[in-house]
Amino acid sequence: MLLVIDLGNTQTSYGVFQNSKLIYHWRSETKAVRTVDEYAGFLFPLLQHVGITLKSFEGVAICSVVPPCNFNLKKFCETYLGKDSFFVSYSNRCSFSIGVETPTEVGADRLANTAYAVKNLSLPAIVVDLGTATTFDVVTEDKVYQGGIILPGIAMGAEGLSRKTSLLPLVDTDFPKSVIGKNTTSCIQSGILFGYCDAIDGLLNRLQNEIGKKCEIALTGGISSLIHRHLKTQTRILPNLTLEGVELLYRENN
Does residue 110 sit in helix, strand or coil? helix
**CATH topology agreement for domains 2-87 and 97-242:** yes
Q: What is the per-residue pLDDT across 236-253, written as a single tens digit (0 to 9) for each?
A: 999 999 999 999 999 999
* Cα R_g (the chain), whole angstroms: 19
Our answer to whether residue 84 is catalytic in this structure is: no
pLDDT at 167 over 90: no
Tell me how crowded residue 189 is: count the other CB atoms within 10 A of its CB. Answer: 20
Please pick, among 6, 37, 84, 109, the residue that the annotation labels catalytic.
109
Q: What is the per-residue pLDDT across 172-201, written as a single tens digit (0 to 9) for each?
A: 888 999 999 999 999 999 999 999 999 999
Q: What is the per-residue pLDDT across 95-120, written as a single tens digit (0 to 9) for each?
A: 999 999 999 999 999 999 999 999 99
For residues 162-178, give the mean pLDDT.
Answer: 86
Please tell me whether the peptide bond between 45 and the residue prior to it is cis, using omega within 30 degrees of 0: no
Instruction: Tell me whether strands 133-139 and 144-152 are parallel, antiparallel or unpaired.
Output: antiparallel
| DSSP states of 144-185 | EEEEEEEEE-HHHHHHHHHHT-SSPPP--S---SSSS-SSHH
CATH topology of domain 2-87: Nucleotidyltransferase; domain 5 (3.30.420)
Domain ranges of the chain: 2-87, 97-242
CATH topology of domain 97-242: Nucleotidyltransferase; domain 5 (3.30.420)
